[in-house]
Amino acid sequence: MYWENSPDTKNELISSAMTRDRFDFIFRHLHVNDNLDLQDKYTKVRPLVTLLNKKFLEFSPLEEHYSVDEAMIPYYGRHGCKQHIKGKPIRYGFKAWVGATRLGYVLWMEPYQGATTMCNPIYKELGLGASVVLTFCDVLISRGFDLPYHVVFDNFFTGTPLLEEITKKGLRCTGTVRENRTSSCPLITSKLLKKKERGAVDYRTTHDNTFIIAKWHDNNIFSIASNAVGINPKQSAKRFSQSEKRNIVIEEPHMVSIYNKYMGGVDRSDENISHYRIGIRGNIGMRKSLVQLAPLSAKLCCSVVTTEVQ
C-alpha cells in the first residue's frame, strides 16, 4: 500500500527509497527464524507471532469482557496448515485462535496446527478447546492487574472442567455448552422443554454455587453455563413468532444477554480486517497474513515490527 497512488496510503519516504519489486524480493527471502531448528509447523514465523502478541497486549485497552473464538485468514496456495471449513464466509485458509475485546481489538492469537497447537502443555489433559481458553486467561493475568476479567466463548470450548479451572484462577467466564459436556447435570430434557412456552428456562447450580448451567427455549434449545452471572435479572427480547406471524417479546436470562453482547468480539475483528484485505499469493502468504490478522492492532506496532525484524 506504500506504493499505491492513493494519497492516504502512499509513503514517499519508502516509495522513493525502494521499488515495490525490490521490496517483494527482499521480503520473499527474509527469514525470521533458523530453518535448521523447526520445532513446530509455524517455527519459521514464530518470532513474528510472538512479537505481534507482545505489541498487541502492550497497547491493548483495559476492559472487563473478552471473547475467544476462531478466525480464518484466507489463503488459496499450498501449505500443510491450510484448513477448509464448510459453510464459513472464508472457507480456505489458515485458522487461528484469537482473543479480542468487544469492539474487535486483538490481544492474542495462536495459529492452529492440529494437535501440536502451541498452548500451555499443563492444560493438555483438558483438551484443545479448554487449553486455548486457559492459555488466553494466562495472557490476561500476565498483564499484572489483579482484576476479575470476564471471558466469553462458544460451545466448542465450554465444559465443566474448564469452568472449574477458570474459577481457580479467579477469573469469570460465560459460554454456551453442549449437552454431552454438562457432567450429567439433572436439567429438563430438551424434548420436554421444547413443549413449554417460548422463553421458558431451567437451570441448576453447583452445591457451593460456583457456577450455573441453564437451558433456555428460544428458536431452539439453548444451553449455557457461567461462573459469573445467573438467570436474573431477566430481560426482554424481541422474536418473530412463525405461528402468530408477528413479533413477540419473551424473557431472556441475564447470562444469555451477557453472552450475546460480548461474544462477537472476534467476528468484529474479522469485519475490521475485511476493510484492509489485500491479495495473498505465493509462498510469502503466511507472513503477510499474520500481520494482516489484526490490522487495526498492527497499525500501532507496525514501525516497531519493521525495526525489530530488520
pTM of the model: 0.78
Question: Does the pLDDT value for residue 220 go beyond 90?
Answer: no
CB neighbours of 298 closer than 8 A, spacing ≥ 6?
52, 291, 292, 305
Residue with the bigger pLDDT between 137 and 308: it is 137
Contact 169, 147 (CB under 8 A): no
Between 215 and 77, residue with greater pLDDT: 215
Tell me the pLDDT tens digit for each residue of 38-67.
888 888 888 889 999 999 999 998 999 999
Say whether pLDDT at 299 is over 70. Answer: no
- At residue 17, does pLDDT exceed 80? yes
Q: In whole numbers, what is the pLDDT of the chain averaged over residues?
A: 84
Residues 6+ apart with CB under 8 A from 163: 173, 210, 211, 225, 227
Model pLDDT for residues 70-129, shown as the tens digit of each residue = 999 888 888 888 888 887 888 889 999 999 999 999 999 999 988 778 888 888 888 888
Share of the chain above pLDDT 70, in %: 89
Say which range, 20-24, 187-191, 261-265, has the weakest mean pLDDT. 187-191
Taking only the tens place, the pLDDT of each residue in 152-174 is: 999 899 888 899 999 999 999 99
What would the pLDDT profile of 267-292 be if each residue is shown by its tens digit?
999 898 888 877 655 555 555 555 55
Enumerate the domain spans of the chain. Answer: 1-30, 40-149+263-310, 155-260
Calculate what percentage of the chain has a pLDDT beyond 90: 35
User: How far apart (Å, rounded) are the C-alpha atoms in residues 299 and 77?
Assistant: 26
Q: Is 228 within 8 Å of 174 (Cβ atoms)?
A: yes
Cell numbers 480456505 correspond to 92
| Ramachandran bin of 127, using left for φ above 0, alpha for ψ from -120 to 50, beta for the remaining angles | left
